[in-house]
Structure 1
Amino acid sequence: MAADGKLEDSLVSDEGKYGGVRNDQRTSKGMLLGIGQDETVARIEDRIATWSLIPKDNGEAMQILRYEHGQKYLPHHDFFGNGGQDFLNGERVATVLMYLSDVEKGGETVFPLSEAMYVQPKDDGSWSDCAKRGYAVKPKKGDAILFFSLQPDASLDTSSLHGSCPVISGVKWSATKWIHEEDDLQAICATGVAVQLFGEFHHSKLWFLYKHPKESNLARFC
């Protein structure tokens, strides 16, 4: 893929550390796309909003990920568990995972706490050992899954625990879209203290880097 030369080590969030940290629990490489950076990205974001029933402005920048042999993301939650205090736009509500390639074996998305694991047959030899530890979805190019990190009453849904199983054969490409409780840009504008640097917007309470295609975006949205 054309993204190969732009990939960097994937990070995990760590309270008090801007931008996240490297951790052996997540060994993929990735990059961010600008929010609505082109017609294709904007169209995907529109479809995600329609599917999730959550406004597209509540979403973070889309993340492209590559998992090679043995690379994985151990089971984790996408919510922060602190009421979303690290983000001005609140807790993460939902996640959309999009599979951009087929994988010969491994690389499944697994949900270890899902009750559906008990009714999902996995005796045909096509599943990795990791996938057998929960309800699992095989990566298939063009497919996508949507799951929620919060209950309807806004309490944390601990059964949303999930991970990316190690790739055994092939290469896994995927895209992730995290969706929050509130409008990303409006939350930033409301503070009046966003800083524009080289087309990238930073905020002291945001560890995530918001990238936008035009330097005029801040003035346009605020």
Structure 2
Amino acid sequence: MAYGSPLAFFFSSFALLVASIPALVPVGVAEPSFYDPSRVTQLFWRPRIFLYKGFLSDEERDHIIKLARNKMTRSIVADNESGKGLTSNVRTSSGVFLQKHQDEVIARIESRTATWTFLPEAENGESIQVLRYRDGQKYEPHFDYFHDPKNQALGGLRYATVLMYLSNVNKGGETVFPNAEGASSRHKGY
């Protein structure tokens, strides 16, 4: 169960559950050039949750923001019975899905994510969803999986969720895992 604003695939240059692997870089958009284990912190083992600081370069982060900025619409949730998307006060953010392999930068981030999670991109990777939470907006506590046959047929349950933060905030915006082993003793900032 995740609490807070799960800016899924989104906000500062750090990410939960991911790391950086070198790749070819298009001119003008830098990529973190090495995998540095000192940037990875294990937050929990059950479930496995890692924090990788510096997963995205500043240029990659800015590129994602630029692609999404003028395309955001009210976020939806999947109906547990039909699988259809609907607006709900459970989730009040705005967002947009980027196209898979939309450009070289997005393809590189998708590939790096697949490499770090050890999950083949073609079989497992969903489109990057960019979300924005303004003051007072939320995604109420929820389980991050599908109950309905429609979404299960489209790929089923997720093996991993990667959250990339594109901005830093002084207060709010956190994602917490209250059922993680040892969660009650952990710092509330994770």
The alignment's TM-score, normalised by the length of structure 1, stands at 0.51
> 1:90 Cα shift?
2.5
- Report the RMSD for the aligned CA atoms in angstroms: 2.0
Which residue among 52, 72, 77 is the counterpart of 2:138? 72
Matches within 5 A, 1:23-38: 23-38=88-103
Percent of residue pairs identical: 49
Indicate if the aligned counterparts of 1:83 and 1:91 stay in contact, CA closer than 8 A.
no
Quickly say closer, same or farther: Cα 1:108–1:41, change in 2 above 3 A.
same
Separation (CA, whole Å) in 2 of partners of 1:64 and 1:118: 29
Matches within 5 A, 1:1-222: 1-2=65-66, 3-14=68-79, 15-18=81-84, 20-57=85-122, 58-81=124-147, 86-121=152-187, 131=188, 136-137=189-190
Indicate if the aligned counterparts of 2:82 and 2:148 stay in contact, CA closer than 8 A.
no
Indicate if the aligned counterparts of 1:33 and 1:63 stay in contact, CA closer than 8 A.
yes
Quickly say closer, same or farther: Cα 1:63–1:85, change in 2 above 3 A.
closer
Deviations 1:141-180 (A, max 9, x none): xxxxxxxxxxxxxxxxxxxxxxxxxxxxxxxxxxxxxxxx
- Which amino acid is the alignment partner of residue 44 of structure 1? I
Indicate if the aligned counterparts of 2:75 and 2:95 stay in contact, CA closer than 8 A.
yes
- Which amino acid is the alignment partner of residue 47 of structure 1? R
Taking CA–CA contacts closer than 8 Å with sequence separation of 6 or more, which of the two structures ends up with the larger relative contact order? 2
- Which amino acid is the alignment partner of residue 100 of structure 2? I
Separation (CA, whole Å) in 2 of partners of 1:94 and 1:17: 20
Structure 2 stretches of 5 or more lacking a match? 1-64
Deviations 1:198-221 (A, max 9, x none): xxxxxxxxxxxxxxxxxxxxxxxx
Structure 1 stretches of 5 or more lacking a match? 122-130, 138-222
Separation (CA, whole Å) in 1 of partners of 2:154 and 2:130: 23
Structure showing the higher strand proportion among its residues: 1
Give the SS at the match of 1:36: coil
> 1:70 Cα shift?
0.6
State the aligned residue count: 123
- Which amino acid is the alignment partner of residue 98 of structure 1? M
The alignment's TM-score, normalised by the length of structure 2, stands at 0.59
Quickly say closer, same or farther: Cα 1:68–1:101, change in 2 above 3 A.
same
Give the SS at the match of 2:110: helix
Separation (CA, whole Å) in 1 of partners of 2:153 and 2:143: 16
> 1:118 Cα shift?
2.2
Matched with 2:47 is none
Matched with 2:28 is none
Structure having the higher Rg: 1
